[in-house]
């Protein structure tokens, strides 16, 4: 069976950036092979674990040139992408400040979960299981000191598995 889990130690932010850029390449291949596809990705980990940092490098790795800020107050920030796979959108969510699990739906964000491209969701647990299923879960741990930082990519669907299989083996 194909490997559904990929683990890497990321002691420096540069290593986190490199892994996020590898994932960007893999998503780009996947979108080329499946035009119009949507990938749903969760970012799980404590405050300061590096979720926003990972999202920033991933979105910039897809060619986005502007600033990627934390969507803490807006809940969602859209980033238009123009890649070899065509036009798509990265929607970056941070649900930490939601007061109700369905606030994301009331804000009209449902349609983002099947738009061509991908969604990246920080604090998905705040939605209490009301979000569409995830294809990939990214688990980040900061650990007690910098040397124990770890990032796990866990495939939860066939699309997620295809993404992991396409991860470039070298930078
Ligand atoms: P979160 O979104 O999970 O709350 P952030 O990405 O906002 O976390 O913050 C992580 C902080 O840790 C950033 O200031 C980042 O520069 C720093 N950092 C240090 N080492 C790393 C690493 N190896 N990977 C990711 N971030 C790191
Ligand atoms: Mg964050």
Query: How does pLDDT run across 65-111, given as a tens digit for each residue?
Result: 999 999 999 999 999 999 888 999 999 999 999 999 999 999 999 99
In the chain, pLDDT over 90 holds for what percent of residues?
A: 88
Atom index in ligand 1 nearest the CA of residue 43 equals 3
Ligand nearest to the CA of 8: 1
| 166 Cβ contact list (under 8 Å, min separation 6) | 25, 26, 29, 30
At residue 143, the pLDDT reads 80
CA 21 – ligand 2 centroid, Å: 18
What is the residue with the minimal CA distance to atom 19 of ligand 1? 13
Fold for domain 5-97+131-165?
A: Rossmann fold (3.40.50)
How far away, in angstroms, is 94 Cα from ligand 2 center?
7
The set of long-range contacts for 99-102, using a CB threshold of 8 Å and a minimum separation of 24, is 101/126, 101/127, 101/128, 101/129, 101/130, 102/127, 102/130
Strands 117-122 and 38-44: parallel
Count Cβ atoms below 10 Å from residue 129 Cβ, excluding itself: 8
Nearest to 104 by CA among 47, 40, 50: 40
What is the pTM (predicted TM-score) of this model?
A: 0.96
Question: Per-residue pLDDT for 11 more than 50?
Answer: yes
Domain parsing of the chain, residue ranges: 5-97+131-165
> According to the model, what pLDDT value does residue 128 have?
96
Q: Which residues line ligand 1 (CB under 6 A)?
A: 10-13, 15-16, 45, 47-53, 122, 146, 149
Calculate mean pLDDT across residues 157-167.
Answer: 96
Query: Is residue 171's pLDDT more than 60?
Result: no
Residue pair 86/31 in contact by the 8 Å Cβ criterion: yes
**Crossing angle of helices 13-33/51-61, nearest 10°?**
50
Tell me how far the alpha carbon of residue 14 is from its chain's centroid: 17
- pLDDT per residue over 18-68, tens digit each? 999 999 999 999 999 999 999 999 999 999 999 999 999 999 999 999 999
With bands split at pLDDT 50, 70 and 90, how would you rate the model's confidence at 170?
low
- Measured in angstroms, how far is the CA atom of residue 47 from the centroid of ligand 1? 9
What pLDDT band is residue 3 in, cutting at 50, 70 and 90? confident
Ligand closest to the CA atom of residue 54: 1
Q: Which residues contact 20 (CB under 8 A, 6 or more apart)?
A: 54, 55, 56, 57, 58, 61
């Amino acid at each position: 069976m194909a490997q559904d889990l990929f683990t890497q130690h990321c002691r420096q932010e540069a290593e986190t950036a490199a892994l996020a850029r590898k994932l960007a390449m893999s998503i780009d291949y996947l979108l080329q092979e499946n035009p119009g596809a949507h990938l749903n990705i969760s970012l799980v980990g404590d405050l300061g674990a590096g979720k926003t940092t990972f999202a920033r490098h991933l979105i910039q790795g897809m060619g986005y040139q502007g600033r990627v800020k934390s969507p803490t107050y807006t809940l969602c920030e859209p980033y238009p992408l123009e890649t070899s796979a065509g036009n798509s959108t990265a929607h970056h969510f941070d649900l930490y400040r939601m007061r109700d699990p369905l606030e994301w739906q009331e804000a009209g964000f449902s349609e983002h979960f099947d738009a061509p491209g991908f969604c990246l969701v920080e604090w998905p647990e705040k939605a209490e299981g009301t979000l569409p299923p995830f294809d990939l879960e990214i688990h980040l741990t900061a650990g007690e000191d910098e040397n124990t930082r770890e990032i796990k990519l866990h495939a939860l669907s066939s699309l997620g598995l295809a993404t992991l299989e396409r991860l470039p083996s070298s930078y």
